[in-house]
Amino acid sequence: MELRTLRYFVAVAEELHFGRAAARLHMSQPPLSRAIKQLETEVGAVLFDRSSVGVALTPVGAVLLDEARALLDRADRVRVRVAAAAGATTLTVGVLGDSTDPDASRLADAHHRLHPRVEVRVREADLTDPTCGLRAGLVDVALTRGPFDETGLSVRVLRADPVGALLRADDPLARHGGLKPADLADRRWFLFPEGTDAIWQSYWNGGEPREGPVVRAVQECRQAVLWNGTVGMTLLNHEPGAGLTVVPLIGMEPSRVVVAWNEADRNPLIRSFVRSAIAAYHDD
């Protein structure tokens, strides 16, 4: 039973979809299916129930998933210790904007327990770079939000957060229980600077071209609304601050917290960080 095959199995078990798992592993689906069938032959049991409605773990598969994760965690720790012995003892993590996410705090605790001798350097990026310096080579891994251009990157979704419209508390629209982006079509929105990732910019502008003041940071967004009556999108569960309110936006996809890294990077510290992030963000 090879570690590579166990990684294939874990990917399918977490995605519960062979196509998505194959894309995540950067391979085609047929060899992935063959590898899972070979693994089932090795363990002497069916690991997945396959039907027209989807894929589900069998009881045997659920047991193997726990064991496989433990084995892979152990293998990652071995690689990290070897990397540390070779001098690779630093990991630079990019974070976006206000880094007060409680799940991120849980991740930091888990990572420190797992790798107490690894120095983690944190680089906080503003809202103009959703990859937090990843493409520029300033960080090893990014804990950020999508969507953005994922070319050349590996990305895992950790959590989805609903979004709302950020308004002045005395705005007539603030009395509504919910708004659609079309309800704000005639308003000025805060914008990110020219050259900002186009996919990212489009999402935070409700999918439409907008006009309004240029901002770079969360506080600048809030000040643009407070002082000018500008509107924009924000996270529904964020405290907007005095004089501001957030109204749920209907029909908008949630904002997804993701972990991202360069797909060609084989640093074992990154792989371990990603596995810790997935565990921390799903441990609710």
Cβ 162 vs Cβ 254: under 8 Å: yes
Contact 273, 91 (CB under 8 A): yes
What pLDDT shows up at residue 100? Answer: 66
The position carrying tokens 């950067």 is: 26
Full-prediction pTM beyond 0.85?
no
Q: What is the DSSP letter of 148?
A: S
Strands (E), the chain: 48-51, 54-57, 90-96, 119-125, 141-145, 153-161, 163-168, 232-235, 244-248, 255-262
pLDDT of residue 117: 80
Query: How close are the terminal C-alpha atoms of the chain, in Å?
Result: 31
Which domains are seen in the chain, by residue range? Answer: 3-86 (1.10.10.10), 88-144+263-284 (3.40.190.10), 163-253 (3.40.190.10)
Q: The tokens 């089932």 sit on which residue?
A: 40
Q: Mean pLDDT, consecutive 10-residue segments, the chain of 284 residues?
A: 88 88 84 92 91 87 90 77 67 82 87 85 92 92 95 93 96 94 93 93 92 92 94 91 94 94 86 89 70
